[in-house]
Amino acid sequence: MARDSIVKDQDPSEAERQHDTRFRRLGWKRLTVLAIVEAIALGSLGLPSAFATLGMVAGVILTVGIGLLAMHAAYNIGEVKLRYPQIGHYADVGPLLLGRFGAKIFIGSFVALLIFVIGSHCLTGAIAFRTIAQTDLCSVIFSVISAAILMLLAIPPSFAEIAILGYIDFASIVLAIGITMIATGIQKPDTAAAAVSADYIPWSAWPKPDVSFSAAIVAVNNIVFAYSFAGCLPSFMEDMHTPEDYTKSLWWLGGIQIVIYTLVGSLIYSFVGQGVQSPALLSAGPLMSRVVFGIALPVIFISGSINTTVVCRYIHGKVYEKSPLRLVNTTKGWASWLGLVFVITILAWVIAEAIPIFSDLLSLISALFVSGLGFYLPPVMWYVLLKEGSWYEKHNVPAAVCNGIVFLVGIVILGCGTYSSIAELIAKFQSGAYVGRLVKLSWKGWAF
Residue 285 phi, psi dihedral angles, 5° rounding: 100, 160
pTM of the entire structure?
0.78
C-alpha distance across the termini of the chain, in Å: 46
Which class for 106: exposed (0-12), middle (13-18), buried (19 or more C-beta within 10 A)?
Answer: buried
Amino acid residing at 327: L
CB 186: neighbour CB atoms within 10 A? Answer: 11
Q: What is the pLDDT of residue 439?
A: 41
Nearest to 143 by CA among 427, 386, 406, 447: 447
Total length of the chain: 448
Nearest to 188 by CA among 203, 175, 174: 203
Q: Residues near 152 by Cβ (< 8 Å), separated by ≥ 6?
A: none
CA 284 to chain centre: 23
Which class for 49: exposed (0-12), middle (13-18), buried (19 or more C-beta within 10 A)?
Answer: buried
User: Domain-by-domain residue ranges, the chain?
Assistant: 29-444
- Whether 317 and 326 have beta carbons less than 8 Å apart is answered as yes
- Cα(349)–Cα(371) distance, integer angstroms: 23
Distances (CA, A) of 71 to 236, 258, 278: 16, 10, 25
- Cα(413)–Cα(408) distance, integer angstroms: 9
Q: Residues near 12 by Cβ (< 8 Å), separated by ≥ 6?
A: none
Distances (CA, A) of 32 to 27, 68, 166, 236, 319: 9, 17, 10, 10, 29
- Cα(424)–Cα(48) distance, integer angstroms: 19
- Whether 16 and 231 have beta carbons less than 8 Å apart is answered as no
Nearest to 17 by CA among 26, 7, 27: 7
210-214-215-216 Cα dihedral, nearest 10 degrees:
90
CB 171: neighbour CB atoms within 10 A? Answer: 13
- Cα(328)–Cα(35) distance, integer angstroms: 23
pLDDT tens for the chain, 448 residues: list them.
333 433 444 444 555 555 455 556 678 888 887 777 777 765 677 788 889 999 999 999 999 999 999 999 999 999 999 999 888 888 889 888 888 887 888 888 888 888 888 988 888 888 889 888 887 666 788 889 999 999 999 988 877 666 677 778 778 878 888 888 888 888 766 544 444 455 667 888 999 888 888 889 888 988 888 888 788 888 888 888 888 899 998 999 899 999 989 998 999 898 888 888 777 777 777 788 888 888 888 888 988 888 899 899 889 988 888 788 877 878 888 999 999 999 999 999 988 887 666 566 667 777 888 888 889 999 999 999 999 888 888 889 999 999 999 999 999 999 998 898 888 778 877 776 555 444 443 333 333 3
Nearest to 307 by CA among 88, 109, 151: 151
Instruction: Report the CATH fold assignment for 29-444.
Output: Hydantoin permease (1.10.4160)
- Cα(68)–Cα(281) distance, integer angstroms: 26
150-151-156-158 Cα dihedral, nearest 10 degrees:
70
Q: What is the pLDDT of residue 191?
A: 46
- Cα(193)–Cα(182) distance, integer angstroms: 19
Amino acid residing at 330: T
Q: What angle do CA 52, 56, 61 make, to 5 degrees?
A: 120
- Cα(115)–Cα(190) distance, integer angstroms: 44
DSSP 240: B
